[in-house]
């Protein structure tokens, strides 16, 4: 369906629209004087701590952008809430050949874009061939469509107005999931694909950016964006041409006429707005839970426990030795990249982290230590009992590993490398995410205990994404989300050519690099991901992805931190809530209604 994205928990609706993603206080005495916002029955209000970076889905790598766009888009398939398998969305069904290599989808009758123009097989052909498969467009969605060792792509062609054919070079287990990729309007975007500059860059790379008037953003989903005010709000109205409205056998959809996303500066602000009844939903942090649980009945909301998140929360180092093509300058200081590429250094850092302290202190115990790249919520998770390595908290072992690697401690207690360079680097995360800021401060203290100096510098989320894409960072504290339970949805992270292979990012369209070196273990993971999509039997696939998890744990490109419980508070005035593990509390957004609750 989609690729994994860099996650910045939106809070009010951390579980995104199901069709696209399966995926971070003041005392009551002060709050009691706050005015209560007027309650309306024609809208649902969420919060989000980052603005979108674009309105172009296929150019985004961050959850803030995809969260904003999720309500406006549809794909050929979506996810069945009961089985978690693929089911029809814009397509009314499909036929599969006996060899599993050819699929023919038939679109629903009378599909239209939000501007009233017909949505046809030509739009599907355009989306896959001209956007997703276009090597001039840097999109993570292409990474998860690649098939086999060669990374081939399906052949896609429109057969007529309603039928579209996909021909695969070999069996591809997650194909029906990837067929859910959002369809884009050919009649609007084709000129931007055809308009290519002297360097071969299509105008599409500048199309539907954040300056685009929202009335130009065409939708096929349940809502259309009608207003965007930076740092304040995104407002949506129901799409009158949404396909469920064209089917007389279905109830009008969506049933709530308007959505509002309030863009706030921090999770703390979002928390205050929920408590003052300005928001209808809120992703509860561990530090909020005790207080909100006491207020649950009085303030007429319900906290739903949806179990462990599928997100991968991690600390990562930039191991790149690549250089800028024009200047020849390295993206990362060679002294620091040499530290970061030393496995014993990464192992030492892993042993120095008091993860249980993070769970207890940051999450208030509402979560668990995250050692591994695949969450325990996934059937593909590899447990320690199955042979997964782990790095328990052991500062003395961390010191021993550093000494073994040739580092030494000075009389001042600071760690230095063999050349006498003091081990010091900058750790960044997104400002306003209070859990990550608290985590970064604790990591700073943990590493100081083994002589490593960390300059912790939270910055704006979109600025952080820009630095990742340009390789201008040393260490980051982040989360990957949106990939769901299908391991191949993380191919854009784990394949060495992936758009989010951030610890050793290869050359990308618009972000070239020279001298990228792919290690043997990265090549082995490349092979595993190619084999994993070829296997159709679950147990055979799991054995392959078990091996990938073992390699990831041995090599530590991502050092896990914690796995919080997904706790979502929803106002009782929101009717039709049907919380599901993995899917979230508001997965059936287009079926929800709102009502006024008596005071």
Alpha carbon 281 to chain centroid, angstroms: 20
Q: How far is 334 from 326, CA to CA, in rounded Å?
A: 18
Q: Which residues contact 566 (CB under 8 A, 6 or more apart)?
A: 14, 15, 283, 305, 306, 307, 308, 309, 584
Domain boundaries, the chain: 5-72+209-307+567-594, 77-192
CATH superfamily to which 77-192 belongs: Dipeptide-binding Protein; Domain 1 (3.90.76.10)
The pLDDT of residue 407? 98
Query: Is the overall model pTM greater than 0.75, yes or no?
Result: yes
> HEC string of 296-332?
CCCCCEEEEEEEECCCEEEEEECCCCCECCCCCCECC
Instruction: Name, in order, each residue with C-beta under 8 angstroms of 367's C-beta and a sequence gap of 6 or more.
Output: 286, 308, 359, 562, 563, 564, 565
Sign of CA dihedral 415, 418, 421, 425: negative
> Which among 254, 247, 188 is positioned nearest to 221, based on CA atoms?
254
Give the span between the Cα atoms of 261 and 45, in whole angstroms: 6
Q: Which pLDDT score, from 0 to 100, does residue 8 have?
A: 63
Residue 251 CB neighbours (<10 A): 10
User: What is the model's pLDDT at position 60?
Assistant: 92
DSSP H/E element including 549: helix 538-555
Helix (H, G, I), strand (E, B) or coil at 359: helix
Cβ distance 225 to 217 under 8 Å?
Answer: yes
| Backbone dihedral angles phi then psi of residue 328, each to the nearest 5 degrees | 75, 5
535, 471, 492: which is closest to 146 by C-alpha? 492
Given this model, what pLDDT does residue 17 score?
Answer: 42
Name the nearest CA neighbour of 465 among 151, 5, 81.
5
Task: List Cβ neighbours of 387 (8 Å cut-off, separation of 6 or more).
Answer: 546, 550
List the one residue out of 154, 163, 202 whose CA is nearest residue 58: 202
Give the Cα separation of 257 and 260 in Å (integer). Answer: 11
Q: What 8-state DSSP symbol labels residue 427?
A: E
Q: Tell the CATH superfamily of the 5-72+209-307+567-594 domain.
A: Periplasmic binding protein-like II (3.40.190.10)
pLDDT of the chain, 599 residues: tens digit per residue:
445 556 665 443 433 344 333 332 322 232 222 333 445 568 999 999 999 999 999 999 888 999 999 999 999 999 999 888 999 999 999 999 999 999 999 999 999 999 999 999 999 999 999 999 999 999 999 999 999 989 999 999 999 999 999 999 999 999 999 999 999 999 999 999 999 999 999 999 999 999 999 999 999 999 999 999 999 999 999 999 999 988 778 788 999 999 999 999 999 999 999 999 999 999 999 999 999 999 999 999 999 999 988 888 999 999 999 999 989 999 999 999 999 999 999 999 999 999 999 999 999 999 999 988 888 888 999 988 888 889 999 999 999 999 999 999 999 999 999 999 999 999 999 999 999 999 999 999 999 999 999 999 999 998 999 999 999 999 999 998 766 789 999 999 999 999 999 999 998 877 789 999 999 999 999 999 999 999 999 999 999 999 999 999 999 999 999 999 999 999 999 999 999 988 899 999 999 999 865 44
- C-alpha to C-alpha distance for 293 and 289, rounded to whole angstroms: 6
b/e code 135-161 from CB counts within 10 Å (16+ = b): eebbbbbbbbbbbbeebebbebebeee
What proportions of the chain, in percent to the nearest 5, are helix, strand and coil? 30, 20, 50
DSSP H or E segment with residue 453: strand 453-456
* SS3 label, residue 430: strand
Say if residues 175 and 77 touch (Cβ distance below 8 Å). no
- Helices (H), ranges, 368-513: 395-404, 434-448, 461-469, 491-494
- Asked whether the beta carbons of 27 and 275 are under 8 A apart, the reply is no
User: Residue 514 carries which DSSP code?
Assistant: B
Helix ranges (H only) for 135-254 are 140-143, 175-178, 186-194, 243-246
The SS3 of residue 597 is coil
pLDDT for res 12: 36
SS3 36: coil
Q: Is the peptide bond before 254 cis (omega within 30 degrees of 0)?
A: yes
């Amino acid at each position: 369906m989609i690729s994994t994205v860099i996650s910045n928990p939106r809070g009010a609706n951390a579980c995104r629209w199901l069709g696209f993603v399966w995926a971070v206080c003041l005392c009551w005495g002060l709050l009691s004087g706050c005015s209560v916002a007027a309650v309306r029955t024609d809208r649902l209000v969420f919060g989000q701590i980052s603005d979108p970076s674009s309105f172009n889905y296929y150019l985004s790598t961050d959850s803030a952008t995809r969260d904003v766009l999720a309500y406006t888009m549809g794909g050929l398939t979506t996810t069945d809430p009961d089985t978690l398998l693929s089911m029809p969305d814009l397509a009314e069904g499909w036929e599969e050949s006996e060899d599993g290599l050819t699929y023919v989808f038939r679109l629903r009758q009378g599909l239209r874009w939000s501007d009233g123009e017909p949505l046809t097989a030509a739009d599907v052909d355009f989306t896959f061939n001209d956007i997703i498969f276009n090597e001039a467009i840097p999109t993570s969605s292409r990474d998860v469509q690649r098939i086999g060792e060669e990374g081939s792509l399906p052949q896609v062609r429109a057969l007529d107005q309603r039928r579209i054919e996909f021909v695969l070079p070999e069996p591809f287990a997650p194909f029906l999931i990837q067929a859910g990729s959002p369809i884009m309007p050919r009649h609007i975007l084709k000129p931007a694909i055809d308009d290519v500059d002297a360097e071969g860059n299509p105008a599409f790379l500048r199309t539907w950016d954040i300056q685009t008037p929202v009335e130009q953003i065409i939708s096929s989903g349940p809502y259309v964006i009608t207003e965007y005010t930076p740092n304040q709000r995104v407002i949506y109205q129901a799409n009158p041409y949404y396909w469920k409205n064209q089917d007389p056998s279905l109830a009008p959809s969506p049933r709530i006429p308007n959505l509002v996303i309030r863009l706030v500066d921090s999770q703390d602000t979002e928390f205050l707005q929920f408590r003052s009844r300005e928001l209808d939903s809120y992703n509860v942090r561990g530090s909020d839970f005790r207080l909100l649980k006491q207020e649950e009945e009085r303030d007429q909301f319900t906290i739903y426990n949806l179990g462990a998140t599928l997100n991968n929360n991690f600390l990562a180092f930039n191991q790149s030795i690549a250089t800028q093509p024009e200047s020849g300058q390295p993206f990362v200081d060679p002294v620091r990249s040499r530290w970061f590429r030393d496995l014993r250094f990464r192992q030492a850092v892993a042993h120095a982290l008091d993860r249980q302290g993070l769970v207890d202190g940051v999450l208030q115990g509402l979560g668990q230590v995250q050692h591994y790249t695949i969450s325990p919520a996934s059937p593909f998770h590899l447990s320690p009992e199955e042979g997964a390595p782990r790095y328990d908290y052991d500062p003395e072992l961390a010191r021993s590993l550093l000494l073994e690697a040739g580092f030494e401690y000075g009389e001042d207690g600071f760690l230095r490398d063999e050349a006498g360079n003091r081990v010091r680097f900058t750790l960044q995360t997104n400002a306003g995410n209070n859990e990550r800021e608290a985590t970064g401060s604790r990591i700073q203290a943990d590493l100081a205990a083994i002589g490593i100096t960390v300059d912790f510098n939270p910055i704006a989320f979109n600025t952080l994404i820009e630095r990742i894409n340009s390789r201008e960072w040393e260490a980051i504290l982040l989360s990957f989300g949106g990939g769901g339970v299908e391991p191949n949805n993380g191919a854009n992270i784990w394949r060495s050519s992936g758009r989010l292979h951030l610890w050793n990012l290869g050359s990308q369209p618009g972000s070239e690099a020279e001298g990228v070196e792919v290690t043997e273990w990265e090549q082995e993971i490349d092979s595993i991901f190619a084999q994993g999509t070829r296997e159709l039997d679950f147990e055979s696939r799991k054995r392959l992805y078990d091996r990938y998890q073992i390699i990831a744990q041995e090599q530590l490109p991502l050092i896990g931190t914690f796995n919080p419980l997904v706790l979502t508070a929803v106002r009782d005035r929101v009717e039709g809530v049907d919380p599901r593990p993995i899917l979230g509390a508001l997965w059936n957004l287009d079926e929800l209604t709102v009502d006024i609750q008596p005071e």
